[in-house]
């Protein structure tokens, strides 16, 4: 112990936990501190911890018997550091020393392993982060923030007890590895750990001398961080166990924090980036610290697995250590999943720090005899027309597109560098597929010589060769290469190999010191990989192209679009393409679209696109001209409506349709009063908004409706005033209200209601509700409107219109959304009589309502709905989906109910199945997690606690299963 006053792990060699039983703990508490408590062992790797509880259940604190190897000064330092953090960061809960009557509960006690310090420390409620399963980006950010603030609080902390050498101290990890590696029993694993630790250490060495040092907790790990959980959202806000307090590289606090969570379900290296960003915001990282960060994560993981293996052999009964070992291996696997150079470059990019200077200038002339103008660039990105009509899903799409380009005269075909390739996308994948190209693919029409663009060494690979130069290594891989065997030195202009006609090779250009780079990488890691490579296109005489269009779109949106015109998600992906029930972002990630009732047929439906395209080439004008499509569409809609609804108005949206429907009824009756139901949305125009009562869309809706709007109690049979068998009372109360209005001299002109309660989350109205209410309104001379904007048009499966479910016929139907498959199109369908009475208001004109283009789209939608049997599909797949969701509800108490019919379903999430407390925050968080796993789903209802499920009607069973399985995973793993 020459250099260290405290523990020197490398001198001691091992630290088995002190042998103290719960009976010993209770005795210590009584004899030393006068506490009459029961003790519960909490487990620890190198100390002994017991939760002390009084007979009435009051928790006194945690009795911690430190390892006898630690000195008094070391323990004092830990308590002083805890106090320091508690003082400087009052928002952080800290496991400080408990005092009774001003006296600290600390004493030296005898253990079978010698005298040890025993203290009672503050117990932090809420459980530790280690038990929380999946951790969301915001939880991760809180963890980074916590580590950063702890580090900041201790920056000037000093104490003699810091003079110690722990096995955890990253400064000593190279020696610790040498010391412990023998404990890894499996030789293969031993070699991997040793190798990973050694190469990570090599990356640390150049900056080691410049890494800032300070006093630090050095174990802000998931097991030592306690959480506050409010509304299902986990926030780390407490720190315990200062046993590893030391003076070391400050970055270590972040290293330990992020390494500790890598084994959590659903997490991967990129998941910890929010923690890094949050730490950096509190306690900025230097460039050297960034260089050391991920290598130290690998080193930390290596030390953890070795220590666990050692601890398990030391003490076969230490279950805590045994359990920890599996997690530590998972941590090691995750830490080494992506090369450290990639992680470092990725972290630099995310922190906005410049990377090391890199060579760029490249010579052209790789292909002998080919000039750039003869080479066709194959665009496989999101906005390429080649990707239309779902071609990205076809097997070998790239091959056939390249072959077609060669056949039509190109001498060579080349893909784009750094482009997310749609052809590499996969529908329904919970992890983003590797889509971003790190090189280019090349096809040639005729046999072509590849020549060396610079002098260097040629080395054969299994599937090609590499040319190693001064700055870059050019890797050429592919099946049809000839003449490259062996290792040799080569001059500029020498032959490298020959490509045969039609053959495909992959060209990749990486920095000489970079690891081998896969041809495609996942978008989350792309900035990291792309920092290690260069665009090979200049070798072919082509200019470099790096798409940066994504960079600030949301920022631009925030500046140019009114913020009240909101978007889905706080951090939405950029969605630029759709196909059937899939949406694609610009990184070529496919999402299952469970929310898009607008795209009823599916996205980018060919017949709709063709119809619109043909019409736009021919004529598009306002609807006062006489042309066929408008008439045909009106005839088709009238034919779909029950008698006597035979007259159609064409408009552009649901709001307009609802607005016009209301105007028609006001005009026809000459009255002013309107009935609406609670929890409903009908649009944003003055009139449709006046009858909208949903507090989710407008929190003040109920208190600000005009006096002529009379709101019926929301007939929600799941959670409204009347539930289940009592739900018939809604109709009874509504009829009374209508009678009272009439008796009071204000009989309603109309009632507007969704015929199936869409905005409440797909809840069917109580049986007989509309029949009773319609009759009452009509009895007093009023008319009734069915708002079918959301639920109509076949979505309910069993019925084309929602009102059919209630066995009623309205006087006016308002319809939109599905009508145009996303193209703005709406309609009002009513009787000739009601329509004619609008004359009192002048005449009706909507410039583009029913324009030629809109009308042909409307017709194409109706044709496809019929020809593709989509209503029947909604019934079949919807029933399958509903059954599976009901089965899920049996296993997950959070699901309070599954509402709906066909492909209009709602999964209502509640915190308690008796009180029905809405799980609003959980619903939002679940939607965010579902997005990460490749599913677009959103909350609805006044309480925003219902997952609204209204996908394109082409949804198939496989997609329905993917949705349910993914939801199951989220509900099981956490969100």
* Of residues 588 and 827, the one with the C-beta less far from ligand PMP: 827
* Of residues 276 and 660, the one with the C-beta less far from ligand PMP: 660
User: Minimal CA–CA distance to 402: which of 375, 436, 372?
Assistant: 375
* Of residues 537 and 790, the one with the C-beta less far from ligand PMP: 790
E-assigned strand segments in 701-754: 709-712, 750-754
Question: 229-266 burial, b for 16+ CB within 10 Å, e for fewer?
Answer: eeebbbbbbbbbbbbbbbbbbbbbbbbbbbbbbbbbeb
* Of residues 277 and 687, the one with the C-beta less far from ligand PMP: 687
* Of residues 689 and 932, the one with the C-beta less far from ligand PMP: 689
Rounded least distance, CB 653 to ligand PMP, Å: 4
The binder of ligand PMP chosen from 93, 149, 152, 682 (CB under 6 A): 682
* Of residues 219 and 656, the one with the C-beta less far from ligand PMP: 656
The binder of ligand PMP chosen from 653, 714, 717, 727 (CB under 6 A): 653
Rounded least distance, CB 798 to ligand PMP, Å: 19
Q: Is 787 in the site for ligand PMP (CB under 6 A)?
A: yes
* Of residues 789 and 874, the one with the C-beta less far from ligand PMP: 789
Rounded least distance, CB 816 to ligand PMP, Å: 5
CB 678 within 8 A of CB 713: yes
Rounded least distance, CB 947 to ligand PMP, Å: 16
Rounded least distance, CB 409 to ligand PMP, Å: 47
Torsion of CA 941, 945, 950, 956, to 10 degrees: -160
Rounded least distance, CB 826 to ligand PMP, Å: 6
Can you tell me which residue has the tokens 């029993």?
185
User: Minimal CA–CA distance to 960: which of 888, 894, 885?
Assistant: 885
The binder of ligand PMP chosen from 464, 683, 766, 810 (CB under 6 A): 683
* Of residues 625 and 686, the one with the C-beta less far from ligand PMP: 686
**3-class SS of residue 415:** strand
* Of residues 255 and 680, the one with the C-beta less far from ligand PMP: 680
| Region near ligand PMP per CB under 6 A, out of 72-80, 422-430, 511-519, 784-792 | 784-792
Can you tell me which residue has the tokens 């029947």?
872
**Residue 887, C-beta contacts closer than 8 angstroms, at least 6 positions apart:** none
**3-class SS of residue 406:** helix
| Region near ligand PMP per CB under 6 A, out of 158-166, 373-381, 526-534, 786-794 | 786-794
* Of residues 759 and 941, the one with the C-beta less far from ligand PMP: 759
Residue 888 in tokens? 């899920």
Rule CB under 6 A: which of 257-276 touch ligand PMP?
none
| Region near ligand PMP per CB under 6 A, out of 90-98, 650-658, 771-779, 958-966 | 650-658
Phi-psi region of 71 (alpha: psi -120 to 50; beta: other; left: phi over 0): beta
Q: How many CB atoms lie within 10 A of CB 869?
A: 14
Phi-psi region of 578 (alpha: psi -120 to 50; beta: other; left: phi over 0): beta
Residue 292 in tokens? 């050391």
The binder of ligand PMP chosen from 137, 390, 528, 654 (CB under 6 A): 654
Rounded least distance, CB 278 to ligand PMP, Å: 36
Rule CB under 6 A: which of 706-765 touch ligand PMP?
754, 758-759
Rounded least distance, CB 682 to ligand PMP, Å: 5
Distance of alpha carbon 333 from alpha carbon 196, whole angstroms: 10
Rounded least distance, CB 685 to ligand PMP, Å: 8
The binder of ligand PMP chosen from 790, 831, 873, 938 (CB under 6 A): 790
**Residue 294, C-beta contacts closer than 8 angstroms, at least 6 positions apart:** 200, 269, 335, 340, 343, 344, 347
Residue 719 in tokens? 């959670």
* Of residues 162 and 828, the one with the C-beta less far from ligand PMP: 828
Distance of alpha carbon 421 from alpha carbon 63, whole angstroms: 58
Rounded least distance, CB 336 to ligand PMP, Å: 48
Distance of alpha carbon 874 from alpha carbon 973, whole angstroms: 30
* Of residues 759 and 854, the one with the C-beta less far from ligand PMP: 759
The binder of ligand PMP chosen from 118, 378, 490, 658 (CB under 6 A): 658
| Region near ligand PMP per CB under 6 A, out of 449-457, 508-516, 653-661, 662-670 | 653-661
Residue 22 in tokens? 């719960």
The binder of ligand PMP chosen from 436, 816, 829, 861 (CB under 6 A): 816
The binder of ligand PMP chosen from 67, 655, 669, 694 (CB under 6 A): 655
**3-class SS of residue 814:** strand
* DSSP character string of 436-494: EESSEEEEESS-EEEE-SS-EEEEEETTEEEEE-SSEEEEEE-S-EES--S-EEE-TT-
| Region near ligand PMP per CB under 6 A, out of 540-548, 568-576, 787-795, 886-894 | 787-795
CA distances from 181 to 47, 188, 305, 512 (A): 23, 12, 9, 31
591 to 630: interface string for ligand PMP, x by CB under 6 A: ----------------------------------------
- 547-438-581 Cα angle (round to 5): 65
User: Minimal CA–CA distance to 289: which of 214, 177, 220, 178?
Assistant: 214
Rounded least distance, CB 815 to ligand PMP, Å: 9
Rule CB under 6 A: which of 662-681 touch ligand PMP?
681
Handedness of CA 219, 222, 224, 229 (dihedral sign): positive
Residue count of the chain, please give it: 975
CB 347 within 8 A of CB 273: yes
* Of residues 49 and 855, the one with the C-beta less far from ligand PMP: 855
* Of residues 445 and 654, the one with the C-beta less far from ligand PMP: 654
Rounded least distance, CB 696 to ligand PMP, Å: 11
Rounded least distance, CB 688 to ligand PMP, Å: 7
* Of residues 681 and 801, the one with the C-beta less far from ligand PMP: 681
Task: Estimate the share of the chain in helix, then strand, then coil, as percent rounded to the nearest 5.
Answer: 40, 20, 40
Binding residues for ligand PMP, rule CB under 6 A, total 15
Rounded least distance, CB 651 to ligand PMP, Å: 9
* Of residues 238 and 715, the one with the C-beta less far from ligand PMP: 715
* DSSP character string of 525-566: GHHHHHTTEE-SGGGGTPPP----TTTTHHHHHHHHS-TTS-
Rounded least distance, CB 821 to ligand PMP, Å: 13
* Of residues 790 and 821, the one with the C-beta less far from ligand PMP: 790
* Of residues 122 and 682, the one with the C-beta less far from ligand PMP: 682
Residue 34 in tokens? 């006068």
CB 791 within 8 A of CB 953: no
Rounded least distance, CB 763 to ligand PMP, Å: 13
Rule CB under 6 A: which of 39-78 touch ligand PMP?
none
CB 629 within 8 A of CB 860: no
| Region near ligand PMP per CB under 6 A, out of 3-11, 369-377, 651-659, 766-774 | 651-659
Rounded least distance, CB 786 to ligand PMP, Å: 10
User: Minimal CA–CA distance to 830: which of 877, 785, 872?
Assistant: 785
Distance of alpha carbon 185 from alpha carbon 35, whole angstroms: 44
Q: Which residues bind ligand PMP (CB under 6 A)?
A: 653-655, 658, 681-683, 754, 758-759, 787, 789-790, 816-817
């Amino acid at each position: 112990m020459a250099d260290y006053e405290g523990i020197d792990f490398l001198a001691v060699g091992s630290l088995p936990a002190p042998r103290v039983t719960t009976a010993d703990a209770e005795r210590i508490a009584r004899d030393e501190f006068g506490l009459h408590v029961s003790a519960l062992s909490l487990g620890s790797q190198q100390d002994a911890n017991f939760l002390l509880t009084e007979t009435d259940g009051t928790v006194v604190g945690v009795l911690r018997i430190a390892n006898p190897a630690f000195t008094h000064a070391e323990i004092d330092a830990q308590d002083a550091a805890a106090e320091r953090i508690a003082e400087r960061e009052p928002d952080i809960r800290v496991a400080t020393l408990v005092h009774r009557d001003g006296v600290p509960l600390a004493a030296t006690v005898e253990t079978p392993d010698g005298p040890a310090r025993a203290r009672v420390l503050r117990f932090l409620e809420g459980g530790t982060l280690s038990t929380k399963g999946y951790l969301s980006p915001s939880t991760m950010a809180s963890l980074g923030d916590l580590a950063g603030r702890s580090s900041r609080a201790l920056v000037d902390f000093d104490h003699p007890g810091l003079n110690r050498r722990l096995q955890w101290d990253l400064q000593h990890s190279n020696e610790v590895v040498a010391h412990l590696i023998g404990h890894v029993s499996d030789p293969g694993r031993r070699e991997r750990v040793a190798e990973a630790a050694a190469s990570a250490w090599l990356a640390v060495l150049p900056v080691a001398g410049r890494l800032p040092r300070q006093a630090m907790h050095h174990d802000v790990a998931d097991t030592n961080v306690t959480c506050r959980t409010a509304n299902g959202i986990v926030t780390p806000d407490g720190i315990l166990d200062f046993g590893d307090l030391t003076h070391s590289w400050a970055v270590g606090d972040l290293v330990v924090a992020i390494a500790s969570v890598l084994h959590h379900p659903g997490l991967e290296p990129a998941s910890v980036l929010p923690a890094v960003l949050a730490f950096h915001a509190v306690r900025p990282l230097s460039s050297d610290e960034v260089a050391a960060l991920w290598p130290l994560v690998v080193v930390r993981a290596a030390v953890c697995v070795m220590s666990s293996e050692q601890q398990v052999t030391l003490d076969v009964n230490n279950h805590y250590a045994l359990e920890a070992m599996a997690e530590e291996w998972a941590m090691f696997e995750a830490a080494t999943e992506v090369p450290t150079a990639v992680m470092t470059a990725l972290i630099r990019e995310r922190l906005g720090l410049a990377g090391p200077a890199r060579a760029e200038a490249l010579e052209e002339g790789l292909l002998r005899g080919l000039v750039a103008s003869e080479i066709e660039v194959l665009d496989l990105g999101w906005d390429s027309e080649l990707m239309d009509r779902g071609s990205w899903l076809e097997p070998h799409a790239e091959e056939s597109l390249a072959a077609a380009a060669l056949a039509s005269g190109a001498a060579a075909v080349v893909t784009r560098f750094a482009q997310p390739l749609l052809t590499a996308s996969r529908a329904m994948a919970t992890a983003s597929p590797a889509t971003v190209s790190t090189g280019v693919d090349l096809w040639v029409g005729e046999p072509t010589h590849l020549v060396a663009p610079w002098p260097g060494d040629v080395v054969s690979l299994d599937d090609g060769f590499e040319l190693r130069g001064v700055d870059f290594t050019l890797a050429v891989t592919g099946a049809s290469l000839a003449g490259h065997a062996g290792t040799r030195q080569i001059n500029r202009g020498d032959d490298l190999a020959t490509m045969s006609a039609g053959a495909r090779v992959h060209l990749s250009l990486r920095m000489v010191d970079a690891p081998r780079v896969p041809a495609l990488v996942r978008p989350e890691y792309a900035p990291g990989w792309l920092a290690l490579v260069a665009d090979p296109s200049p070798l072919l005489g082509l200019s470099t192209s790096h798409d940066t269009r994504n960079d600030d779109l949301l920022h631009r949106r925030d500046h140019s679009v009114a913020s009240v015109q909101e978007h889905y998600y706080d951090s939405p992906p950029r969605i630029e393409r759709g196909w059937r029930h899939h949406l694609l972002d610009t990184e070529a990630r496919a999402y299952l679209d469970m929310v898009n009732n607008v795209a009823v047929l599916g996205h980018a439906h060919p017949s709709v696109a063709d119809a619109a395209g043909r019409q736009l080439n021919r004529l598009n004008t306002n609807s006062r001209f006489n042309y066929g499509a408008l008439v045909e569409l009106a005839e088709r809609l009238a034919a779909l409506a029950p008698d006597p609804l035979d007259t159609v108005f064409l408009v552009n949206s649901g709001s307009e349709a609802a607005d016009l429907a209301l105007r028609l009824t006001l005009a026809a009756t000459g009255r002013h009063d309107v009935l609406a139901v609670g929890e409903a949305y009908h649009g944003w125009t003055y009139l449709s908004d006046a009858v909208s009562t949903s507090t989710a869309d407008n929190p003040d809706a109920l208190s600000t409706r005009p006096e002529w709007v009379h709101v019926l109690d929301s007939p929600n049979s799941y959670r409204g005033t009347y539930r289940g068998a009592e739900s018939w009372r809604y109709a009874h109360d509504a009829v009374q209200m209508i009678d009272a209005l009439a008796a009071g001299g204000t009989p309603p002109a109309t009632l507007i209601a969704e015929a199936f309660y869409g905005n409440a989350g797909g809840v069917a109205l109580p049986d007989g509700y509309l029949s009773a209410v319609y009759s009452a309104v009509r009895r007093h001379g009023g008319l009734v409107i069915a708002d079918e904007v959301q639920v109509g048009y076949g979505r309910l499966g069993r019925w084309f219109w929602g009102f059919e479910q209630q066995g009623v016929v309205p006087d006016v139907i308002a319809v939109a959304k599905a009508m145009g498959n996303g193209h703005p199109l709406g309609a009002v369908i009513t009787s000739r009589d009601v329509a004619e009475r609008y004359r009192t208001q002048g005449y009706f004109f909507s410039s583009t309502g029913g324009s030629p283009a809109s009308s042909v789209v409307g017709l194409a939608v109706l044709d496809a709905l019929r020809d593709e049997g989509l209503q029947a599909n909604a019934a079949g797949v919807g029933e399958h989906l509903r059954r599976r969701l009901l089965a899920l509800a049996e296993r997950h108490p959070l699901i309070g109910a599954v509402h709906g019919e066909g492909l209009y379903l709602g999964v209502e999430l509640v915190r308690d199945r008796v009180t029905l407390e809405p799980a609003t925050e959980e619903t939002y968080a679940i939607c965010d997690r579902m997005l990460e796993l490749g599913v677009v789903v959103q909350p609805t209802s006044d309480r925003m606690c219902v997952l609204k499920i209204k996908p394109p009607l082409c949804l198939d069973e496989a997609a329905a299963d993917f949705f349910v399985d993914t939801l199951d995973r989220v509900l099981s793993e956490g969100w």
